Chain A
Amino acid sequence: MIALIKGLLRGDAEEIARWLTEFDARRTAHCALLILGGCGIYGATIGIWRAPLQAASTAAKFPLLIFLTCAGNAFLNGMLAQLLGSRLSFRQTSFAILMSFATAAIVLGALSPITFFVILNAPPLGSSRAIMGHSVTLLMHVGLIAYAGVIGNRRLFRLLERMSGSRDTARRVLVSWLAGNLLLGAQLAWVLRPFIGSPQIPVQFFRDEPLRGNFYEAVWNALTHLIS
């Protein structure tokens, strides 16, 4: 496991390419465990500001979001990889994407003591500075998740470049995967909400009628509301 963690963080494309070609079920399971552990711990720090119950809920839902996104887009990503000339098989595509999420999960897991410390110091819900506390923690989570995501995707890009032998092919494949994962991931995040929780609404694992409505309609409505 330690060798896997170091290898993922180092991002040595040659070594990781070897892992792709020499399939090892145990390595796949370890990547899944890293996502479960790293994202689970980080998810707990996302939800703890609202309530301990929200922390437990988000700890379960954050890894679930990633697994569902990987599984939901597995077939699509595999097809895109082959159509765009990356030379990756369906299994290799899924494992490569899983490894990039595992890399991000390791970074988030390592940052979770820091986010927990910040949450511990954030003005609580009922205080006069609760809005500032909420804004700071929200920006912090967005920034750190984006940072971890960039690290994971940079390593994925180097791997694609190594496997395909072409920078342009690697870029096309990565962009297509990102587009698909963002499209599905955003909607799954909407279905699985809440992650942070709202002070006005009781803590729930899912909102009522979780499949009703979607992320993009909500963004559109917010934009039109803002403009009008």
Chain B
Amino acid sequence: MNPPPIPRTPGLHFEPMPEGSQPTSILEALLKHPGRVIYELHQNRSGALSFWLLALGLAGMALYGVVVGTLAGGAQLWIAPAKMALGTLLAMLICLPSLYIFSCLDGIEARIRTVTGMLFAAVCLTALLLIGFAPVGWIFSQSTDSVALMGALHLLFWLIGVGFGLRLLGAAGRFFGNVGCRHLKIWNLIFVLVCLQMTTALRPIIGHAETFLPREKKFFVAHWLDTLKGVGNTNR
């Protein structure tokens, strides 16, 4: 079955990736020519590309996790990257079924493999931007002992990164035939909330830990308020 004709979306050019599915060309395409990534995901031969997008995304998250762990140091230098990568993977798995369904609700004509690839691309772009913020994060980590301050800073960087990632998702939605993507916007909010809760479920990522996972269950808002009050610095 032939794919439908490629629509023209202002600001994005949907065309083949000339260099194929190599990691460096994928990263370059994500930043400079995201339309090429969307085009390749739409084609039948999108398996290798999806794999690299996932691998690069998780690796990028883990790399940024090293920066996050420098505030506490010690075991957090490997715990924080592990939790960042694991949390990202879990959040994607939890939200993938609803992404496919919400895409269908928006009238997006894409197979589940393509939708999965789109999500990997969004996360990979988020990770790329976080790596860009890594020097800034490291400098501030060396300047303070405050978990609350560093938490807010890392959160801000992540929100900026995920904003670009979800923008790519929206562009892919328009490529596949939907203009408004109303349900996709609601899914974006759900995904952000799930990721925010995941950071609390896997805490602490920034501060010191007595155990790998927390003993107490909390919603992320309650955890933030406790941290601001100076109660949530350690694993509770």
| A interface residues with partner B (beta carbon < 8 Å) | 5-6, 9-11, 106-107, 109-111, 113-114, 117-118, 120-124, 127, 129, 132-133, 136, 147, 151
Contact = CB atoms under 8 A, between A and B. Distances in A.
A11 B104 CA distance: 9
Interface in B143-168: none
B94 A132 contact: no
Interface string B174-199: 00000000000010001000100100
Interface string B72-83: 000000000000
B105 A9 contact: yes
Contacts of B17: none
Contact of B101 (A107, A120, A127): A107
Given A9-B105, A106-B101, A121-B201, A132 B217 contact: no
Contacts of B97: 109-110, 113
B25 interface: no
B181 to A, nearest CB: 14
B197 A110 contact: no
B43 interface: no
Given A123-B218, A136-B219, A151-B105, A117 B94 contact: yes
B100 A122 contact: no
Contact of B200 (A11, A121, A136): A121
B195 to A, nearest CB: 11
Nearest to B198: A117
B31 interface: no
Contact of A9 (B104, B216, B218): B104
Given A121-B197, A127-B217, A136-B219, A114 B104 contact: no
Interface residues of B, number: 22
A135 to B, nearest CB: 11
Contacts of A11: 105
A158 to B, nearest CB: 13
Contact of A132 (B102, B104, B222): B222
Contacts of B219: 121-123, 132-133, 136
A10 B194 CA distance: 26
A141 to B, nearest CB: 14
Contact of A117 (B101, B102, B107, B197): B197
B98 interface: yes
B59 interface: no
Contacts of A9: 101, 104-105
Contact of A5 (B93, B104, B200, B216): B104
30 contacts: A5-B104, A6-B104, A9-B101, A9-B104, A10-B104, A10-B107, A11-B105, A110-B97, A110-B100, A110-B101, A111-B98, A111-B190, A113-B93, A113-B94, A113-B97, A114-B94, A114-B95, A114-B190, A117-B94, A117-B201, A118-B197, A120-B217, A121-B200, A121-B201, A122-B219, A124-B217, A127-B217, A129-B218, A129-B222, A132-B219
Interface string B96-131: 011011101101000000000000000000000000
B177 to A, nearest CB: 11
Given A117-B197, A151-B105, A123 B217 contact: yes
Nearest to B104: A9
Contacts of A120: 201, 217
Contacts of A107: 101, 105
A181 to B, nearest CB: 22
Contacts of A132: 219, 222
Given A11-B105, A107-B101, 8 more contacts: A113-B94, A114-B94, A114-B190, A121-B201, A121-B218, A121-B219, A123-B217, A151-B105
